[in-house]
Amino acid sequence: MNAPSGSGPGPTILLSAGCLFHLPLKRIASIGRDAGFVGMELIMNSPKLVPGPELERISEVLPIMSLHAPFRDWAAWGGHLGSWKATTALANSLPHADHITMHPPGSKLANMITNRWFEKACDLPLLLDARGRIRFSLENMPWAEGSPFSRDPLDKLLDQCRDRNVGLTFDVCHMGVSGRNVMDSIAKVPMDMLYNVHYSDARGHTEHLTPGKGCLPLADFLRHLGSRGYSRYVTLELEPAAFPDDIDGTVALLATLRQDMERHLASTPE
């Protein structure tokens, strides 16, 4: 199983377009570039995001390296599976893109057809017509506390990743709001299976907080990744309310957060 390479020996820090989804995508790219990010994770939130010169020009401002497949309103793409195929087609067309994060299908009745297809899928990149450089990962979603005798959902998700020839996107805040120890959880993940990390803080059931505004051990988490030689994507994924109203303030905050992430990734675990 191959994986996205990033841009250097250490992790590549991306800005999720979801952080500022209320702004035009070109403005988000400019803000990310000015804040020192080397790339972006594009959220597929509209069927209007299709291959063509408009997105290519945006990727020239801030390279679109990763895409996040739609996680709601799948009917706009003709269904859940159609949304994955549209995301793959767009990634194929973008010169810097080499990774797609997907949410595993849920348990609702509306997902029944996709669930049946997903359960039989053994090679998602092949089935979704991905070019050779494009790799996929499944993201851990918030899990309710279940029976103490039931199987750990992370173990099940890792098995799904292996069975479908994909990696894992480890969402730190999703693990935190699930009531699980994020350090114990990340220690269970083989580094060759970890393709992306969605990075934000959490407190209680509140997700995607600015690092330091929640209660997760984020500095130790990044030090752990650095000490294990992780070299793929770490994606800053915050709620838009985390940012000031003015562009200069947003750029300054993002630059500070990026610098803090780089510093912790490069430091020795305590």
Q: How far are the Cα atoms of 123, 200, 216, 232, 249 from residue 206, in angstroms, in the given order? A: 34, 11, 12, 27, 24
Q: Which CATH number fits domain 12-266: 3.30.365.10, 1.10.760.10, 3.40.50.970, 3.20.20.150?
A: 3.20.20.150
Give the pLDDT of residue 17: 98
Worst-scoring range by mean pLDDT, 108-117, 134-143, 206-215, 219-228?
A: 108-117
**Structural tokens at position 176:** 């935190």
Give the pLDDT of residue 123: 79
Q: How far is CA 24 from the centre of its chain?
A: 20
Task: Give tens-digit pLDDT for 127-158.
Answer: 888 888 999 999 999 986 654 545 688 999 99
Domain regions of the chain by residue span: 12-266
Q: Model's pTM, two decimal places?
A: 0.91
Mean pLDDT of the region 162-171: 94
Q: How far is CA 253 from the centre of its chain?
A: 20
Q: Is the pLDDT of residue 269 over 90?
A: no
Do 242 and 18 form a contact (C-beta atoms < 8 A)? no
User: Cβ neighbours of residue 148 under 8 Å, at least 6 residues apart?
Assistant: none
Q: Is the pLDDT of residue 185 over 50?
A: yes
Give the pLDDT of residue 224: 97
**Confidence class for position 112, pLDDT limits 50, 70, 90:** low
What is the C-alpha to C-alpha distance for residues 134 and 91, in angstroms, rounded to an integer? 7
End-to-end CA distance of the chain: 32
